[in-house]
A and B are shown apart, each in its own frame.
Chain A
Amino acid sequence: MSRAIFTIAYFTFLEAARARLVRLLLLVVLTAFAGGLFLNEIAIADSQRIQTAFLAASLRPASVFMLSLFIISSLAREFNEKGLELILSLDLPRTSYVIGKQLGFMGIALLLTSAVSLLLAAYAPAGQVLLWGLSLLGELWIMAALSLFCLLTFSQIVPAMSLVLGFYLLSRSMTAIQMIGHAPINETGTVQLYMVHALDAIALLLPRLDAFTQTAWLVNNSGSWAQLGPIALQTLIYLALLLAGALFDISRRNL
């Protein structure tokens, strides 16, 4: 079983290279680098800080977008070409397929994180870049598992991608939304009170991505390794939740 898992993971990783993801990654990194250089030139003060913040703030969502889009489009193609049926017609448990795919996607996430972190290492302290990179890796692993789960659930690119992007934006802004809800400017009515409780309930089901991969670590040298513990734990819990969801879905799927 484990051999099958690693074979699926290996071919998933290989597909990323063949799908020109590496070229796209290089293009994105170069574009961000050029944008950073431009800002560095026009900024009168704090030029390196501005450049580093721009690179970090733009490459983080760009990595999430590239990875999610790749996963969703690759799985959708596989479904349309009946590749899933072919694999599952072999003597292979459905669990192996999901875990193998997820491992392959996690490898691609590692590739993306390494490329982005290497670029940032030229502008920020190595320790902080390592911390930032590990946190980005956790974030990308969660988004990879979510993309897998969404495509297994919806089977179509548009709803799956919309949900992934909506989830990402909500997870990154939920803390701010909750803080606004808990300290309203005007008087609080009953409806607003229910809305605040509803927001709190939704927040319980989301990972706090706003605490992940902070640009401030790179530009202010303010990250500490103690911050990585909760991030790692949250990554593990959420990975388990999404993988269990994906396994649940594929187990109920009628091929």
Chain B
Amino acid sequence: MTERPLSAVPIPILALLTLALVLQIYWGLRTPLPQAKAQALPPPPNHEVIAVASFGESIVASQSMALYLQAFDNQPGISIPFQNLDYATVIQWLDRMLELDSRAQYPLLMATHLYTQVPDPARQKQMLEFTYRHFFAAPDLRWQWLAHAAIVAKHRLHDLPLALKYSRAIARHANGPGVPHWAQQMPIFILQEMGETESAKILLGGLLANNTLDDPHEIRFLTERLKEMETGIVEKSPPLSKMQQD
């Protein structure tokens, strides 16, 4: 279908079109963009709402909540520092995610790696305690997050008793085949760092005596370490992060 020429359009219509276009652009130019306002993190939705919204797909719901929470600090036009987040509400969200998917690692990763980056020891401890609280539900699955919590407690918070508490929990409860020996040896080096050499010696001696270690290099290293402790040569333990690399 061919179109009629432009001259077929009545002039009042062309005038109205031009005027309306100019007015729309003028209106758009004089209307400023609204200022970005940070929205407070709302409490997580309750179970019933989640069940309806996710059509009973609780694992997908947990994952969606994790992504929502992760992206929450980047709202349109504004980036909220972690310090401005209400950590009690953040923990409610993390709790709800683990309730929906008990095998999820994401909430524990967020707690130990993401939300502990805040420069506020009280908030960091909230996240570490969250990890500790949930560790006991599946120690063999969640030991790595508590191990990281122990590292944060030792190196960032310089709270050795707290690091010892976490590392002891790993040593006592995470005994599955997938848990490496270094994770179970953590309390020994923290005790040594704390000056509790006698306790460290007892633990290390016990570890060597019960034949749980099978790597000859590891056995040699720990035996030498025990000897050094007994002779009083070693005063400082290797950093936990280095142990992880080993």
Contact = CB atoms under 8 A, between A and B. Distances in A.
Contact of B13 (A38, A42, A204, A251): A251
B27 A254 contact: no
B216 interface: no
A203 B76 contact: no
Contact of B27 (A42, A179, A183, A237): A237
B16 A240 contact: yes
B74 interface: yes
Given A175-B33, A203-B28, A241 B77 contact: no
Q: Which of A185, A208, A243, A244 has the most CB of B within 10 A?
A: A244
B43 to A, nearest CB: 9
Given A180-B76, A180-B77, A203-B28, A248 B23 contact: no
Chain A residues touching B, majority SS: helix
Contacts of B79: 183, 185
Given A204-B25, A237-B27, A252-B4, A185 B74 contact: yes
Interface string A168-190: 00000001111110110100000
A245 interface: yes
B76 A176 contact: yes
B9 interface: yes
Given A205-B25, A241-B24, A251-B9, A178 B3 contact: no
B4 A182 contact: no
Contact of A244 (B16, B25, B74, B77): B16
A183 B77 contact: yes
Contacts of B1: 253-254
A95 B11 CA distance: 13
B76 A233 contact: no
Interface residues of A, number: 36
Contacts of A241: 17, 20-21, 23-24
A153 to B, nearest CB: 11
A238 B13 contact: no
Contact of A208 (B8, B16, B31): B31
B6 interface: yes
A240 B20 contact: yes
Given A175-B33, A230-B31, A248-B17, A205 B77 contact: no
Interface of A: 38-39, 42-44, 95, 175-180, 182-183, 185, 203-206, 208, 230, 233-234, 237-238, 240-241, 243-245, 247-248, 251-254
Given A177-B76, A204-B29, A241-B21, 9 more contacts: A180-B77, A204-B24, A205-B25, A230-B31, A237-B24, A244-B13, A244-B16, A247-B16, A252-B8
